[in-house]
Amino acid sequence: MSPTFHWFLPTNGDSRHVVGGGHGTAVTATGGDRPPSVGYLTQIARAAEDLGFTGVLTPTGAWCEDAWLTTAMITPLTERLKFLVAFRPGFVSPTLAAQMASTFQRHSGGRLLLNVVTGGESPEQRAYGDFLDKDARYARTDEFLRIVRALWDGRTVDLAGEHLRVEDARLARVPDPLPEIYFAGSSPAAGRVAARHADVYLTWGEPPAAVAEKIAWIRALAAREGRTLRFGIRLHVITRDTSEQAWAEARRLLDGFDPATVAAVQAGLARSESEGQRRMLALHGGRLPPAPGSGRGGETTAGLEIHPNLWAGIGLVRGGAGTALVGSHAEVAERITEYHRLGIDEFVFSGYPHLEEAYWFGENVLPRFAARAPTAPPAPVPPVPSLP
């Protein structure tokens, strides 16, 4: 299977510098350089569509614009682009969510994908009126997706669960096609929900060996449920004509990090309940390197290139996805192939600023894959998972 490529809609603002936010941290000042207006986001969406991306991911949370409303406004201004809409199941009833997805599919011509996000950090959840703890939120998500899946199948649903209850629930019209469900999470509770309900399991950009472990873990859990899943990865990207140019851009971004901002962001992220966020923090150590290192002719910094062409610098000022593929177009393509051989079929990329970086990637990396012959089947992964 050839890889599928998605881009990102920065509904928290965009800049020529890294825009922080997420997992309990506020959007950094650079988020105001290019406000997330419908006009600007439409520019990015149209560029992604013209360049050959399959879809665009929109985030969810108090730190960004609402994903449902934003994508609903942009969809009529595009033609074929799909929208990977992130939403939190605890904030809306499962019957209403199933109906919203069905309506979106009809009005968009079947261009909805759903990124189900069980929750943010507990303080943010409480601001929305949700006082469940993390494990209870995953249990609620499991009930939520059971109801939604049944409604999409055209069934009438009666369920009295621990967290959710519906009686005589049904849809007047089911979505066609059914939206695919994307799901992420590194905790045991997340793995169980993904195995039961997800079509695509997403991971943040960890080194290939760690990604292979996650794939083996989720495959084993899904096999127990009699299911198979596809796998995706979420990464930033800096691709240029030469490796030196790409690493110089990474260095430019790093030079723009204010040490006080890094310290404040890292202090907030250190309190995160997310296992995935803890894994991201472990990749960079939480501090700015003191001086340019010896890697790549001094254009990068010691300790932040954690695998060839995999740079952990973004995570110093941003919650969530904190790594980037950095290198020449050929090097970035090689790293994508490396992940694809592990079993990753879907790639969700972003870059600062998102409009310009979409062109760098779309014009120089995507054609390399479009012209390739079918790739070899994924390499075997360890049969016994070591996560979590």
Cα three-residue angle 142-272-198, rounded to 5 degrees: 25
Question: Does residue 253 surpass a pLDDT of 80?
Answer: yes
The 10s digit of each residue's pLDDT in 82-107 is: 999 999 998 999 999 999 999 999 99
Please tell me the number of Cα atoms within 13 Å of 6 on its side-chain side.
23
H or E element at residue 165 = strand 165-169
Is 297 or 53 the better-scoring residue by pLDDT? 53
Rounded CA separation 132/134 (Å)? 7
| pLDDT of amino acid 295 | 45
Q: For residue 312, give Cα distances in angstroms to 2, 254, 318, 324.
A: 27, 11, 11, 7
Q: Tell me, what's the pLDDT at 271?
A: 87
Listed residue (94, 137, 135, 84) closest to 114, CA to CA:
84
Min mean pLDDT across 40-49, 88-97, 158-167, 270-279 is at 270-279
For residue 351 the two structure tokens come to: 């870059």
Rounded Cα distance, 192 and 212, in Å:
18
Q: Which residue bears the tokens 């310009």? A: 356
Q: How confident is the model at residue 26, as a pLDDT? A: 85
The pLDDT tens digits of the residues spanning 179-226 come to: 999 999 999 999 999 999 999 999 999 999 999 999 999 999 999 999
Model confidence at 382: pLDDT above 80: no
CA distance 198 to 200: 5
Going by their DSSP bridges, the two strands 157-160 and 305-307 should be labelled as unpaired
Give the CA angle between residues 194, 184, 121 to the nearest 5°. 120
Over 60: is that where the pLDDT of 383 sits? no
Alpha helix segments (H runs only) across the chain:
38-51, 67-74, 94-108, 122-127, 134-152, 188-197, 208-224, 243-255, 259-270, 275-284, 329-342, 354-364, 366-370
151 pLDDT band (50/70/90 cuts)? very high
| Percentage, residues of the chain above pLDDT 70 | 92
| Whether pTM exceeds 0.85 | yes
Look at residue 298 in the predicted model and tell me its pLDDT. 45
The residue ranking higher by pLDDT, 320 or 40, is: 40
